[in-house]
Chain A
Amino acid sequence: MSNTQQRSTQHRDARGRPIVAVTGLGIVTSLGQGKDANWEALTSGRSGIHAIERFPTQGLRTTIGGTVDFLFDGPFAAPELSEKLAMLAADEAVGQSGLGQAGDFPGELFMAVPPVEMEWPQKQELAASIEGDVDYDGLLREAATLKHKAMHELFLFGTVADHVADAFGTKGSPISLSTACSSGATAIQMGVEAIRRGDTPAALCIGTDGSIHAEALIRFSLLSALSTQNDPPEGAAKPFSKNRDGFVMGEGAGALVLEDYDHALARGATILGIVAGCGERGDGFHRTRSSPDGKPAILAMQDALADAGLSPDDVDYINAHGTSTPENDKMEAMSCAAVFGERMARLPMSSNKSMIGHTLTAAGAVEAVISFLTIAHGRIPPTINYVTPDPAIALDVVPNVARDAPVRTVLSNSFGFGGQNTSLVLTAEPARS
């Protein structure tokens, strides 16, 4: 190939940076494993929320969740489920991309993983051999026998990514990150940045969360963050409805193979879409509440659009954070109105969480995968359970039934505790325009 030809195949974005293509997508949620199962359920308006059977729920205010119950026969710890979900989603994404060889992925790994800590069954196992009252000195003495060595690796923060890196042969030092409920989007953003820097031709970006256990549920419950409308379970997540009363915890994983666009073209890969822009802003207002003026969320969306070189008018659909908490949905609607103006009344914005619950650490990645499926199919998944609209937030939430519509550009929002606001601009493959 001559130098001239090489130059002519160098695609760059409006800022002269490498374009970041998506060549593989994978997903697991309570609706099922894989893109086909999830897409069928999401566009049928089916809910994956159900009564929790994993642990006793006696005495709890919330007894429902979008748990993924079809992967293990026996008991497991949260990091084991998070790892399994990540492996399955990554396997689907890497398989679809056709990139590299089995166990030799030619790119870096960016993983959003839930916080890990020692769980009750393992602590009980240590406590079983202690005489008299249990305290941490007793647990330490039992640990020092080295009979429970496997627990060390199991409860290290870095282990899930370590195992995924081993399985897929990703390159470099894998990143395990958290930006709370925007973690999945941050994993994608970090992959985009690494490819734009030219550090890596490809990135495997994963968000995973399999951490619904009694204590995790109780902690959110004590913050009054969860819906308590347990019956029927599938009706509890009601984003943007007037009677919304909290989110429903969900589990799942989303995986994306990101690749330098020219690298993908050169190997004849199918381009599934482009991660065109990312925006993120901190909110120094409060530990759990968003700034009442929505400023950080507004700036995150505007930054993402500017990063993509697009304007609000270019957006065809918003994949909402839409948790179904009174505060988030109000703040998000208001922030979107500030960014999109009068157009917001007609601009479709739906929440996948109405069906899969809030997959927390995984949500940004899971919802990015669904956004690319939305682009590919020209069909928008609905916001289900939209029976009692909230008159204070007039929106086109694509109520209850999926809608066919050409979608080229999606804005996907993720907001989290600790003042984390991340927005992604996801677009169709340029050749389709």
Chain B
Amino acid sequence: MQRGVVITGIGLASSLGEGIETHVAAIAGSTAPVVDATSFAPYPVHPLKVLDLDRQIPKKSDQRQMEPWQRLGVYTAGLALDGAGIKDDVETKSLLQVIVAAGGGERDHAVDGAILTGLRGANAPGAYLNERLMGDLRPTLFLAQLSNLLAGNIGIVHGITGASRTFMGEEQAGVDAIRTAHARIAAGQADIMLVGGSYNAERRDMLLLLELGGYLRKGDFAPVFDREAAPGIITGSASAFLVLESAERAAARGAAIHAKLDKVIAARSKRAPGTVEATLRRLIGNLGPVAPGALAISAATGAAGITAEEASAIATLPQARRIATGDLVGHALEAAFPVLVALAAAALSTGHAQEAVVTGAGHWRGEGAAHLVKA
């Protein structure tokens, strides 16, 4: 039994702002990307446009117990629930299954710096580290740092008592979150799911992880597929959550349908020159027939080599109109693929396309693709 899977809720927030219209305007080409090239220089980032958090997270005590990436995710999940018309539907929220693609929590940068400075002159470094951590770590920080606590906070703030699962593993976590949610609904293992991710780019600890591998672009913004001279990722704060639902369930309750999520596939190529292109070509081929002129949105990172390979794979789509999420909102790691699918669904929902193919190759591992059609 394979059931149709449709998107009935889209939550989107990024450096451009929030909501479907804001992001569709960017897809249509009428918005320039928002880039901050100074705060984290030499690394440019796409900073989050400030959200009116009270609108989705009414209790200040809830806001205080979360870090920026969690507040962003909880907020965006709320937008998706609102859009799907299930925010106040207690029965649906008791059935709603959640999959979140998440990274880790934010370090207290000042504490880390002070401890590292002190450790250099400490006579007993182990004892010094213990003393400083016991005194300087906030107990609640631990909770903010657990990857599954974005899902936990979504449950608490929005009153969802269905079960949640958190996927980790950078970009591919986002691909597999959407793939798994789609598969469970298609197979009848779930009827309605909330799936997405959230990424805060405005933190040096994550820049550090990426820069250790030499993956960041320095200097100014340049379009993703035009970075050959100085390749690299420009990260962006962004979140997307989708309400996925079986077509029957959506029809039965008369829900507005943004798009049909036809297929989601993932792969993990053993990286060597050419493998990303070959893998994405295979995935695109496995999506089935795509009409000429489809919208092709890519979550290409901008990283050297694999970005050009992704461009070559996308070029196999006949007369496709190619757009890169990196040119709109930046690269959002775990949230990149959810943002990609949300942008495609928004474009279909507002009549900017009839059909969309989305692709993404993780900066280190993993490739994914999906096919969406107008409902």
A residues with a Cβ closer than 8 A to B are: 55-60, 113, 115-118, 120, 123-124, 127-128, 133-137, 139-140, 143-144, 146, 148-149, 151-153, 155-158, 161-162, 165-166, 172-180, 186, 190, 193, 196-197, 199, 214-215, 218-223, 280-288, 296, 416-422
Q: Would you call B113 and A135 a contact (CB within 8 A)?
A: yes
Question: Do A179 and B148 touch across chains, with their CB atoms under 8 A apart?
Answer: yes
Cβ contact of A124, chosen from B116, B161, B209, cutoff 8 A: B116
Given contacts A178-B166, A214-B130, contact A287 B214 (CB under 8 A): no
Contact across chains for A283 and B155 when beta carbons are under 8 A apart? yes
B346 located at the interface, meaning its Cβ lies under 8 Å from any Cβ of chain A in the complex: no
Contact flag A173-B208 (CB < 8 Å), given A124-B119, A161-B169, A222-B134: no
Given contacts A133-B117, A134-B117, A214-B133, contact A288 B143 (CB under 8 A): yes
Residues of chain B touching chain A, judged by Cβ–Cβ distance below 8 Å, are 43, 65, 98, 102-104, 107, 109, 112-113, 116-117, 119-120, 124, 126-127, 129-131, 133-134, 137, 139, 141-143, 145-149, 151-153, 155-156, 158-170, 172-173, 175-176, 179-180, 183-184, 187, 189, 204-205, 207-215, 266-268, 270, 362, 364-366, 368
A171 to B131, CA, bound (A): 46
A162 touches B161 (CB 8 A): no
Give the chain A neighbours of B179 by CB distance below 8 A.
173
A169 to B223, CA, bound (A): 37
Whether B268 pairs with A57 at a CB distance below 8 angstroms is no
The contact of A172 among B119, B211, B267, by CB within 8 Å, is: B267
Some 19 contacts from A to B, beta carbons below 8 A apart, are: A55-B126, A56-B126, A56-B127, A123-B116, A134-B120, A136-B204, A149-B214, A155-B212, A157-B169, A162-B169, A178-B166, A180-B148, A193-B189, A197-B184, A197-B189, A219-B137, A284-B156, A284-B159, A418-B149
Q: Which residue of A lies closest to B120 (CB)?
A: A127
- Give CA–CA (A420, B155) in the complex, Å: 10
Q: Which residue of B lies closest to A154 (CB)?
A: B212
| Sample of 9 further A-B pairs with CB below 8 A, known A177-B166, A197-B189 | A59-B127, A115-B147, A117-B205, A143-B211, A149-B213, A173-B366, A219-B145, A287-B65, A287-B143
Residue of B113, B133, B183, B267 touching A136 (CB-CB under 8 A)? B113
Q: How far is the CA of A57 from the CA of B129 in the complex (A)?
A: 10
Closest-by-CB residue of A relative to B189 is A193
On chain A, the residues within 8 Å of B143 by CB distance are: 223, 287-288, 417
- Cβ of B130 and Cβ of A218 under 8 Å apart? yes
Across-interface contacts of A285 in B (CB, < 8 A) = 156
A178→B177 CA distance, assembly (Å)? 12
Partner pick for B104 among A115, A148, A214, A219, CB 8 A cutoff:
A115
CA distance A296 to B156 in the complex (A): 13
Out of B130, B139, B268, name the residue touching A173 (CB < 8 Å).
B268
Q: Which residues of A contact B168 (CB under 8 A)?
A: 113, 115-116, 157-158, 176-178
Q: Which residues of B contact A199 (CB under 8 A)?
A: 183
Cβ contact within 8 Å between A158 and B172: yes
The answer to whether B211 touches A140 (Cβ under 8 A) is yes
Cβ B148 vs Cβ A416 within 8 A: yes
Give the distance in Å from the alpha carbon of A214 to the alpha carbon of B126 in the complex. 9
CA distance A222 to B189 in the complex (A): 39
Contact in complex: B161, A296 (CB < 8 Å): yes
> Is B145 in contact with A115, judged by CB distance below 8 angstroms?
yes
- Roughly how many angstroms separate A390 CA and B332 CA in the complex, as a whole number? 50
B130 touches A281 (CB 8 A): no
- B165, A186: Cβ atoms under 8 Å? yes
Task: Tell me whether A180 and B146 are in contact (CB under 8 A).
Answer: yes
Give Cα A162–Cα B184 distance, bound, in whole angstroms. 24
Q: Which residues of B contact A136 (CB under 8 A)?
A: 109, 112-113, 204-205, 207-208
- How distant is the Cα of A172 from the Cα of B264 in the complex, in angstroms? 13
Which residues of B sit under 8 angstroms from A422, Cβ to Cβ? 163
| A56 contact set on B, CB distance < 8 A | 124, 126-127, 130
- State in angstroms the CA–CA spacing of A155 and B213 once bound together: 11
Contacts of A284 in B (CB 8 A): 155-156, 158-161
